[in-house]
Amino acid sequence: QQQVKQSPQSLIVQKGGISIINCAYENTAFDYFPWYQQFPGKGPALLIAIRPDVSEKKEGRFTISFNKSAKQFSLHIMDSQPGDSATYFCAASGGGGSNYKLTFGKGTLLTVNP
């Protein structure tokens, strides 16, 4: 059972464009929704995260939009740059107990063309 569904699997954007990656979750106990960025040959690194008490969080060119009723959240990369080319993973966690573990989406390979 896949608890976090991510789309698209791959995305090609021109430099300066907007990249949008979407995720949907099923477990209403989740209360932490991070996005991880992974460059080739590296481990994933936290990019930005949101909790369900807000609908949007912005850090520089990266924004998470969160829709609790629809159980969806998305990553928007404004003014996309070739250096943003990487694999992006959404994840979710929460519910107390040992549920600090993260459940990841399958990833989106973003290519930003110069």
Partner 1 sequence: DVKVTQSSRYLVKRTGEKVFLECVQDMDHENMFWYRQDPGLGLRLIYFSYDVKMKEKGDIPEGYSVSREKKERFSLILESASTNQTSMYLCASSPVLATGTSVYEQYFGPGTRLTVT
- Tell which one of 35, 62, 66, 104 touches partner 1 (CB under 8 A): 104
One-letter amino acid of 37: Q
Least separation in angstroms between CB 64 and partner 1: 14
Angle at 76 between CA 70 and CA 81, to 5 degrees: 165
Is there binding between residue 14 and partner 1 (CB under 8 A)?
no
Alpha carbons 32 and 64: distance in angstroms, whole number: 12
Subset of 49-88 contacting partner 1 (CB under 8 A): 49
Question: Is 29 in contact with 94 (CB distance < 8 Å)?
Answer: yes
Is 80 exposed, middle or buried, given 0-12, 13-18 or 19+ CB atoms closer than 10 A?
A: buried
Listed ranges 12-20, 56-64, 66-74, 101-109: which one lies at the site for partner 1 (CB under 8 A): 101-109
Please identify, using beta-carbon distances, which residue of 26 and 79 lies nearer to partner 1.
26
Q: How many residues of this chain interact with partner 1, rule: CB under 8 A?
A: 23
- Tell which one of 50, 105, 110, 112 touches partner 1 (CB under 8 A): 105
Is there binding between residue 47 and partner 1 (CB under 8 A)?
no
